[in-house]
Amino acid sequence: MRLRSRVYLHFVIALLVVGAAISVIFAVGGRGGLAREIGERVARHVASLAGERLGDRGALVARLEQLHADLDLDVVVRDLDGAVVAAAGAPLQRAAPEAIAAARGGAVVARPGPRPFAVAPVRDATSGRVVATVEVAAHRRFGPPALLGPLAIVALLLGLGAVVTRPLARRLSRPLERLTEAARRLGGGDLAARVPVSPLPRRWWQRRRAPADEIAELTGAFNDMAERVQRLVRGEKELLANVSHELRSPLARLRMALALVPREGRDEARLVEAERDLAELERLIDDLLVTARLEATGLPTRLGEVDVRALLTALAERARHDPAIAGRAVEVGQAEPVVLVADEALLRRALWNLVENAAKYGAPPITLSGVRLGDRILLAVDDEGPGIPPEARGRVLDPFYRLDAARTAGATAPSGFGLGLTFARRVAEVHGGTIAIDAAHREGGVDRGCRVTLTLPSGDAA
């Protein structure tokens, strides 16, 4: 349930509880006391009127009938022995012995309840002695017609309170919703995500602006944190790009120096190995520079139509002649004749990184595939190696993270810098796509192999 709905529901429940509590207090306390006091006064008045006609039974019955007709009261006059002297209205059960005893002693006893009831002494008009008792009961009309008005008023008040509290609940939850949305964007990689902060208005009775509340302070702290994170990441990227760019010159000089070294005898193999290492360093620097450029611009440089089948076939042919992949079977599997709009150089480089990763850390055969799924193109590289554990599939996409133990069958881990998957992920993102790592297939309920899939929009070439 949303926070706004929870706050609103709590307000409504609070209104219901307060309304019910007030009603119970009024019904039990105030109305009970009021009914008792009115009952005592009515009983005294009826006893006084009955005392005036006590010697004349016919006149007494006539007076009681008049009270019953005027006040809708049921009245019974009893002598001190409990015999009925006169009555009017519905028959009444005899009062409790303690109430009768109190009335004979000169007290008036009133009892509120479903049917209000009172007992009062009837005194002789000349001597003032208690010569009888009168019992009075009222008809309580407590049904749907009588409840309709109060219930309508209560419902109207609760509805008005619910309408008034809904904007308040939304106002309380809105800053938290904006903060949650900004936190999700920041966690998703949008380092420019901020929460707009509106200054609190100064009321007409305030000489200065009110201090910020807790939510405003939390919002400000989040924006400060996001600003520091953005500056830190920007500084690291700039440093990495600058260092990579500056390394190009000494690497070029090293390559030139290696080219001038005489290649004789045993030195030939060493020079070839040095040139291979130098080429790997140059590729690392190129990947770093391209990744930094993509991070800065977020756009590929040269978009065009790319034939997926031709691209995969060219990569497989290149792998057959590459010394680093020699001896490992690289084949094209399902490759539909589809065309997408992309930067072919970047896409070729990203897929080649995936092929090299499969050759280094997986096991042959390595299979390339490309299929259409709706308006998306899925480019996948499969291998039959040990695969990547599900809990590590998100981390291997981070820069410089390596999981050699999970992907290397032997004791010696192959060389690498942990940038191949990072570069492929960034290429997919700048094309509006995604990258996913899964098992190549399942055998007997166990994941086998590794599949890295680039999902890209087909673009205008669909």
pLDDT tens-place string over residues 400-449? 676 654 444 444 445 555 677 888 888 888 888 999 999 988 887 788 89
- Per-residue DSSP letters for 420-440? HHHHHHHHHHHTT-EEEEE-S
Q: What is the pLDDT of residue 377?
A: 92
Q: Please give the CATH topology (third level) of the domain spanning 215-294.
A: Helix Hairpins (1.10.287)
pLDDT tens sequence across 326-340: 778 889 988 888 899
Q: What is the pLDDT of residue 203?
A: 55
Secondary structure tally for the chain: helices H, strands E: 11, 14
| Residue with tokens 């040095």, as numbered in its chain | 274
CATH architecture of 304-461: 2-Layer Sandwich (3.30)
Dihedral sign (CA 63, 64, 69, 70): positive
pLDDT tens sequence across 102-153: 888 888 888 765 566 789 999 887 788 888 999 998 865 544 554 566 667 7
Buried b (16+ CB within 10 A) or exposed e, 84-114: ebbbbbeebeebeeebbebbeeeebbbbbee
Residue 379, strand partner residues: 370, 454
Return the structure tokens found at 393.
């599939």
DSSP letter for 391, please: G
Q: What is the pLDDT of residue 302?
A: 74
Q: What is the pLDDT of residue 2?
A: 62
Residue 363 has pLDDT above 90, yes or no: no
Mean pLDDT of 77-91: 87
Sheet-wide strand order for 73-79 = 84-88, 73-79, 130-138, 117-123, 109-111
Domain boundary assignment for the chain: 3-144, 215-294, 304-461
pLDDT tens sequence across 194-235: 888 766 555 555 555 555 567 788 888 888 998 888 888 777
The region of weakest confidence among 16-25, 179-188, 216-225 is 16-25
pLDDT band at 296 (very low <50, low <70, confident <90, very high): low
Q: What is the pLDDT of residue 410?
A: 45
- Is there a contact between 392 and 354 (Cβ–Cβ < 8 Å)? no
- Is there a contact between 396 and 343 (Cβ–Cβ < 8 Å)? no
For Cα atoms 356, 357, 362, give the angle at the middle one, nearest 5 degrees. 110
Position with higher pLDDT, 258 vs 89:
89
Q: Please give the CATH topology (third level) of the domain spanning 3-144.
A: Beta-Lactamase (3.30.450)
- Is there a contact between 381 and 355 (Cβ–Cβ < 8 Å)? yes
- Is there a contact between 142 and 115 (Cβ–Cβ < 8 Å)? no
d(CA 306, CA 458): 10
Buried b (16+ CB within 10 A) or exposed e, 47-80: bebbbebbeeeeebbebbeebbeeeebbbbbbee
Mean pLDDT of 92-110: 85
- Is there a contact between 300 and 349 (Cβ–Cβ < 8 Å)? no
Q: What is the mean pLDDT of the chain?
A: 78
pLDDT tens sequence across 303-326: 888 999 999 999 999 888 887 787
pLDDT band at 367 (very low <50, low <70, confident <90, very high): very high
| Residue with tokens 């609940």, as numbered in its chain | 169
How many residues are present in the chain?
462
pTM of the model: 0.47
